[in-house]
Structure 1
Amino acid sequence: MNIDQGNSLKYESISFIESTSVTESRGQLTVQWKDSFRQIIASCIAHCIVIPAGANMAFSAILLPQLRASKDIPITNSEASWIASLVTISMPLGSILGGVLMDKFGRKKTCMITTIPFAIAWIVLATASNVTVIYLGRTLAGISSGLTTVCLVYVSEITHPNFRAMLLSLNSVYVSFGILLICVLGYFMTWRMVCYALFFIELVVFLFLFLVPESPHWFITFRHNREAAGSSLRWLYRNAKIYSDENRRLTSVPNTENTDQFKFFDINTYRTPVIYKPLVILTVIFVIQQLTGAYVIIFYAIDIFKQIFGNIEGEKEEYLALVFFGIIRFVTALIGAAVSKRVGRRYLLFISGAGMCITTFIGGMYMYAKEGQPDYNGYISLVCVLIYVFFGTLGYLVIPWTLIGELLPVKVRGKLGSLLIGLAYIYMFGIVKIFPTLLSFIGFKWILCGFSAVNLVGIGFVYKYLPETLGKRFSEIEQFFTN
């Protein structure tokens, strides 16, 4: 991508996915749904690698209650918090490693590599005999989850701008499906059997990844191989006219880009507006994302539902609420993906932040007003939390991740994007680790009010600083930061 407007033409050849393409309009072509069928198929297959990532986040929600109930492997409260949070602290390792692997070996091969440590992690967990082995399995699973960030880069580079937002939003659909899978399987199966089922899924995903092409973008930028890029492009665009137009745009300008010019630890690298501005914006948005508490509910769903239901005995209500939680996340992710083709990122974040702000405030205040009273109804607070989950999935749980594939320049997207995601996982670790302590000391009602305040701040930040990316070429987004 360009550093200034003078370089925009050079990066236009690299960012082939932004060309307009078989309706003629002022000499350009427009890609229709039928012409993007293979891009959609490739995106759907690539997104399958994040199903276990979603399952991994929600796994502690069923693992911890089952461990406490069965006494199979005795755990303390401190060990329980580590079992939940080890995933998040190990994610940055996988995320940063993924940035190196995807630039060196390619986006597709890195997607395939991701399934291997995940498969090992599920077997380790399924056969665990003590807490230490569970720690090991959770750590491996966390590293694997970090590696799955390659999916966002891969999808952003094989899709046309008209469909890029929608297909990137599928990431949340697949993560939500992984969460729903855990919620449903956890209702019927033991945690060990769930691990075996997830191991089988990894094998299937690995085999399906053989069917998709490598990113033409990667071939051009990191291998300077126009023939291989053309072959991948031919797979993605079966229509001869569109393929010819896209291939011309991809190869028409000599590739003079030095892919080694990005110096990770050179401060001068970050003085260019197209790098430091989106870097700062994404950093703040990821901090807000984690402080909204959207991910905490995934890790501690059963414990949170027990707080909501109060003195209701038994676990039936909590597990049914967990299943509803998974269904809401999945359905909302589908809705978000569908509307993302027409509704901008800013608007979705506004709606998400406002909805989360209102529902958490109402839920917290209701629990405070009815605390200790005999007419307290836990289902009212539960409804507030589930609506909060709906609004969170519509925006803050999804969009910050997809913005990495849109705001960051091509030459830094792999490494710098992986670093940003790694930092987001560190923020997540901090929140997940201290949440049980906060829950014990101040109670869920005040935690909800804190989430409400953070969402209010997020609305203001998005309005002030985040540019709209819907339907924009990468060069247009860069010009926004340059100007």
Structure 2
Amino acid sequence: MMIYLGRVLGGLCVGLLTLTLPVYLSETVQPEIRGILGLLPTTFGNAGILLCFLVGSNVNWWVLGYVGAIVPLIFTAMMCFVPETPRWYISKDRAEDARSALQWLRGSFNDVEFELEAIQINYEMSSQTTSTVLDVFSRRHVRPFLLSMGLMLIQQLSGINAVIFYTVDIFEMSGSSISGHVSTIIVGVVNLLATFVANAVIDKVGRKVLLYISSGLMVVSLVSLGSFFAVQAKAENVAADHVDAEWWASTMESLSWLPLVSFMVYVIAFSLGWGPIPWLFMGEALPAKVRGPAASMVTTLNWTCTFVITKTFPGLVLKLGPSIVFFMFSVIMIVGTFYAVFLVPETKGKMLEEIEEELSGRKDRPIPGRKISTVSGLNMK
């Protein structure tokens, strides 16, 4: 019961953090660096995964629990010195607190008046009527909400959490000559490094380009994994019938490198695009008026899919075989490619107010500073 209670509390708190962190970052970070800083939760998340792989392969699981408890303690202490977001202060009619928070975030030598005015005007336009949960589904707000839901759905149906949670089992199932724990650590390292690459280029190439690259590489790696397990199943059947068993055994030995390489490409591709961008997009695109309830529903969908995929993956492997399961994931990512190409807008370098105007179709109010080339470190149009 103590283990269950700990897992429930941990899961509840992780759910709250994955909801609030993207929103907080999107509301406080300048547009030209919002991509880089918006990926930090994913970067640190991947660092945590690697830490678990490294520590967990050498100690008892309860020692890993103590190690994991250190990070939230540090996080809580540091958050005591961080202000609320200026947009939240504006929503509570605390304009001076909003100015102080924005000045703290931008630095004492930067002029924040234009940015503060844009936030105030956007809030006044959005708050002319009382906000309810049903407003999420209004004509003005439903498009960014559905786009965020779609991104989260594809992210989880790509099978990433099944791959992460069952990495050791999958490598043992593949018959790889490399230890499952060693392979897992290798996957964790490339996962973290790929996130740093995404951090470096996301504000240069944009969100959509990274989604294209991510989708293509994930499809290739999933098809490779599916093909490997299909060949493995064929080799096992042939060996049972004693037909060309030696040739098939030699073939499988020559392909022993494929699972690890495919896994590395898969996690690199995921960390470049489909891992961080749905969370970043959620914080950027959801309208201010419904950002709280909409983000809650999007986050709920993400963790619900995580639970379903994680719990059903072993059963699917037993029922259908690993090759079919990985081919299914590849088909989902092909759908995700078309979704990114035709439906997801580019948000690089835009203020939250501009993104909201574009997605809602609202053209009835100016955004201050559009003709100002540089204000408070912002490149405004």
2-side partners of 1:339 and 1:395: how far apart?
Answer: 11
1:172 is matched with which residue? 42
Residues 54-87 of structure 1: CA distance to partner in whole angstroms, max 9, x if unpaired?
Answer: xxxxxxxxxxxxxxxxxxxxxxxxxxxxxxxxxx
Check conservation: 2:208, 2:346, Cα contact below 8 A.
Answer: yes
User: TM-score, length-normalised on structure 1?
Assistant: 0.67
Letter in 1 for 2:127: N
> Does residue 235 of the first structure (1) align with residue 104 of the second (2)?
yes
Equivalent residue runs for 1:97-136 within 5 Å: 132-136=1-5
> Does residue 471 of the first structure (1) align with residue 338 of the second (2)?
no
> Does residue 212 of the first structure (1) align with residue 82 of the second (2)?
yes
1-side partners of 2:224 and 2:142: how far apart?
Answer: 38
1:286 is matched with which residue? 152
1:81 is matched with which residue? none
2:249 is matched with which residue? 374
Letter in 2 for 1:136: L
Partner of residue 336 from structure 2, selected from 455, 458, 461: 458
1-side partners of 2:122 and 2:225: how far apart?
Answer: 57
Partner of residue 191 from structure 1, selected from 44, 61, 64: 61
> Does residue 322 of the first structure (1) align with residue 214 of the second (2)?
no
Partner of residue 348 from structure 1, selected from 210, 214, 218: 210
Partner of residue 321 from structure 2, selected from 423, 443, 464: 443
2-side partners of 1:246 and 1:283: how far apart?
Answer: 29
Determine what percentage of the aligned residue pairs are the same residue: 29
Q: 1:253–1:190: structure 2 CA closer, same or farther, 3 Å change rule?
A: closer
Equivalent residue runs for 1:221-300 within 5 Å: 221=91, 223-247=92-116, 249=118, 255=124, 258=127, 261-264=130-133, 266=134, 270-273=137-140, 275-300=141-166
2-side partners of 1:407 and 1:253: how far apart?
Answer: 14
- Of stretches 441-450 and 424-433 in structure 1, the one that deviates more from structure 2 is 441-450
User: Deviation at 1:326?
Assistant: 1.1
Check conservation: 1:309, 1:379, Cα contact below 8 A.
Answer: no
Partner of residue 174 from structure 2, selected from 299, 305, 308: 308
Check conservation: 2:31, 2:350, Cα contact below 8 A.
Answer: yes
2-side partners of 1:389 and 1:396: how far apart?
Answer: 10
User: Deviation at 1:303?
Assistant: 1.3
SS in 1 for 2:130: coil
Check conservation: 2:282, 2:295, Cα contact below 8 A.
Answer: yes
Q: 1:245–1:321: structure 2 CA closer, same or farther, 3 Å change rule?
A: same
Letter in 2 for 1:138: R
Check conservation: 1:292, 1:451, Cα contact below 8 A.
Answer: yes
2-side partners of 1:459 and 1:235: how far apart?
Answer: 40
Letter in 2 for 1:464: F
Check conservation: 1:364, 1:449, Cα contact below 8 A.
Answer: yes
Check conservation: 1:216, 1:228, Cα contact below 8 A.
Answer: yes
Residues 292-340 of structure 1: CA distance to partner in whole angstroms, max 9, x if unpaired?
Answer: 1112112222111211226x5xxx7111111111111111111111111
1:361 is matched with which residue? 223
Structure 2 residue runs of 5 or longer lacking an equivalent are: 237-247, 362-381
2-side partners of 1:152 and 1:178: how far apart?
Answer: 17
Structure 1 residue runs of 5 or longer lacking an equivalent are: 1-131
Residues 201-254 of structure 1: CA distance to partner in whole angstroms, max 9, x if unpaired?
Answer: 222221111222221111011x11011112112211224342355445556899
> Does residue 338 of the first structure (1) align with residue 208 of the second (2)?
no
1:181 is matched with which residue? 51
Check conservation: 2:165, 2:310, Cα contact below 8 A.
Answer: yes
Check conservation: 2:55, 2:64, Cα contact below 8 A.
Answer: yes
1-side partners of 2:158 and 2:330: how far apart?
Answer: 7
Relative contact order, higher structure (CA 8 A, sep 6+): 2
Letter in 2 for 1:354: G
Check conservation: 1:216, 1:233, Cα contact below 8 A.
Answer: yes
Check conservation: 1:259, 1:411, Cα contact below 8 A.
Answer: no
User: Deviation at 1:407?
Assistant: 1.2
User: Deviation at 1:399?
Assistant: 0.8
2:287 is matched with which residue? 409
SS in 2 for 1:374: helix
User: Deviation at 1:255?
Assistant: 4.5
User: Deviation at 1:197?
Assistant: 1.3
User: TM-score, length-normalised on structure 2?
Assistant: 0.84
